[in-house]
Amino acid sequence: MSKITQVKKALKENLTKEQKELIKKVLPFIGLPTARVLGMKHKMQNLGFTERGQADLEAFYNRTSSPKLKKYIAWQLAVWHTNQPTKEDAKKALDYLEVVLKNEVRPEVIRRATILTAEAFDRLGYTDKAAEITGYLARRQSHPDVYLAAANTEQELETRADWMNKVYRHYKLMEVELDKDKMKSKSPYDSLVPSAKKTLVENERLLNNKVTVIMPVYNAEEVIHSSLASIQAQTWTNLEIIVVDDKSSDKTVETVKNYQDKDDRIVLIEAPENGGPYVARNLALEQATGDFITINDADDWSHPEKIEKQVLHLINNTNYVGNMSEQARMTEDLTFYRRNREGEYIFKNMSSFMFRREKVLEKLGYWDSVRFAGDSEFIYRVYKIFGEQAVAELQSGPLSYQRQSDNSLTGNEVFGLPNFKMGARREYEMAHDDHHQSAENLYYPFPQTERPFAVPEPMRPVREENQDGFRPFDIIVAADFRNKNALRKQEIDSLITLSRKEGKRLGFIQLYKYTSSPYKDVDQLYRDLVNVGVAEMIVYGEKVTCDWLVVSEPSTLDDYQKFVPEVKSRQTAILIKGSSKGQTLELPDNSRNTEERAESYFGRKPLWFASDTAIQNKIDQAAKRKNGLANLRTQYWPGLENLPKTDAE
């Protein structure tokens, strides 16, 4: 590792979350070329500008004369194309990876780029070439990620297991094997077992430090055998294993009871209603008696030394309140999955977070009662209360294999976590960060009778009944709510009146403006309106209907963005605002293109409105000078409170 890399690593480890976010927001204004590249990447990836973001990165790549910068941009484009599922993208990735690897001497860059190269060749059907590449790399770099990349190129399952054991030998961990009897009826993933048995001496340290493992389960009868058996096989035997069934409709409860009959460490709790995994965790936390608490998801296999490694670290280091181990994502046929990570398979496992029960419960209380993403919120509260240095990220090697499947929540295309946050997860992160900054008390009780801050509907424990899959609204406003001036005062006043006095149901849709800073959060003004219930934030993956959909900023329709909820509006309006005192109007280059994008998003060809007669006159003048606006016809804006009724009303 070079000195520069060491300095970067040290800075990353010692900066707080708030400091990292501040640096991220300030960098675009400094004007560094690499900051510009990262901004384009963020827009393309996190904000969903998949077309323009990629086009801008490619243009920057072709334009720059700096070999160093060209290589840096090539790496971002290589990662992007490797993460796409098509063969055409794999070919493009190989072109960029060739640029990255040319004359490269840094081992980490060589390793990550070579792993992506092998993956691209494998997608193109050249598995032998991929195996040759990873084998060559493995002979030159003894690195766990290389071993897992090599495992992916093997056809024989036993050989894949051999590569996995190279990883475990690297970390001085127990090895694993495939149980031949289990293989007759189960997947390779579900046939993983320890190669040998390890027994710890029952001394005072073991006997006086009980670990509660909480396992929330829902319709898990097919997968719980592996997860539960892997916890039973832990070398740290002083365990309380609390399984919480979240109102399953299959034979999960019966399956757990069969295990319970043979192991008195297992406790079964049956939730009275389905509330999601974090409500289930909280039910267990209420009853937990362990000195330490950790989680094991229902479909995840854990290495037999996982609990031992984590609890011994906390026993021996009393200054830490918690720690996390590492994981890798793996399919049922033992194929490792990067989940969009940049040439690596092993990464920290937030759900492995082990903490001191009494200390954390006293200060923080319980997990947020949401359906997903609660791990990071809980850990960020720990950071706020105890300091980020109070949580250790152990370089443990993969002590868990998160099952990669179509049914796994983190792998879900809409509400999942593809190594970056978008949609509901991004909105939740902005909302809880705002709450963490302003709240006097970060203790969350359970049951959670009142929310500490608003969250998107898909995250709530109690979901709404809907009409054919769609939730109904009266008016939805779409704008870039990171901009304080997204709405004028009269529109904000109207929203409050419509909500409070007329009982209208209102929604916000965050449409990003490509030219704005990529890292801004929703402005406090709109965050407060959402938190007090004036409007709901509607996110990607949701389906909604409304009487009126109002686009408050036409420029948010200039470029295609992926992360937009599905909307069926009975009427769509595009509002052109401005000041009659000479302010430049925000007009599209081509009104027809804007109309088509609005119709594709919201299901209805839009009507154009001008905020006042002076603005309307300016629009008419501009339309005469600009061919793209020749067909633009506006109406006078009546205000949100006076929008005409639609047919359905």
pLDDT tens string 334-353 = 999 998 899 999 999 999 99
pLDDT mean across residues, the chain = 92
Q: Which two tokens stand for residue 542?
A: 């949701």
| Residue 586 confidence (pLDDT) | 77
Identify the three-state secondary structure at position 224: helix
Give mean pLDDT, residues 444-457.
97
| Residue 580 confidence (pLDDT) | 41
449 within 8 A of 443, measured Cβ to Cβ: no
395 within 8 A of 401, measured Cβ to Cβ: no
293 C-beta neighbours (distance < 10 Å), count: 24
Give mean pLDDT, residues 436-458.
97
Q: Which two tokens stand for residue 642?
A: 């006076």
pLDDT tens string 178-233 = 999 999 999 999 999 999 989 888 899 999 999 999 999 999 999 999 999 999 99
Give dist(CA 369, CA 481) in Å, integer: 26
Query: How many angstroms from the chain centroid is the CA of residue 266?
Result: 32
Q: Which residue has the higher pLDDT, 647 or 496?
A: 496
Give dist(CA 575, CA 389) in Å, integer: 49
Give dist(CA 538, CA 460) in Å, integer: 13
Q: Is a pLDDT exceeding 70 seen at residue 633?
A: yes
Backbone angles phi, psi at 283, to 5 degrees: -60, -40
| Residue 593 confidence (pLDDT) | 93
| Residue 165 confidence (pLDDT) | 98
pLDDT tens string 489-519 = 999 999 999 999 999 999 999 999 999 999 9
Question: Among 3.40.50.300, 3.40.710.10, 1.25.40.10, 3.30.420.40, what is the CATH number of 31-172?
Answer: 1.25.40.10
The domain segmentation of the chain, as residue ranges, is: 31-172, 204-433, 464-642
State the pLDDT confidence band at 630, using cuts at 50, 70 and 90.
Answer: confident
Q: Residues with Cβ < 8 Å from 160, sequence gap 6 or more?
A: 151, 152, 154, 188, 334
pLDDT tens string 523-546 = 999 999 999 999 999 999 999 999
339 within 8 A of 421, measured Cβ to Cβ: no
pLDDT tens string 574-614 = 999 875 455 567 788 889 999 999 999 999 999 999 988 88
Give dist(CA 495, CA 165) in Å, integer: 60
pLDDT tens string 56-88 = 999 999 999 999 999 999 999 999 999 999 999
Instruction: Choose among 322, 425, 421, 418: nearest CA to 371.
Output: 425
286 within 8 A of 379, measured Cβ to Cβ: no
| Residue 29 confidence (pLDDT) | 45
Instruction: Choose among 530, 569, 512, 501: nearest CA to 434.
Output: 530
Instruction: Return the CATH number of the domain spanning residue range 204-433.
Output: 3.90.550.10
State the pLDDT confidence band at 156, using cuts at 50, 70 and 90.
Answer: very high
Give dist(CA 535, CA 473) in Å, integer: 10
State the pLDDT confidence band at 624, using cuts at 50, 70 and 90.
Answer: confident
| Residue 587 confidence (pLDDT) | 83
Q: Is a pLDDT exceeding 80 seen at residue 10?
A: no
Per CATH, 31-172 and 204-433 having the same topology is answered no
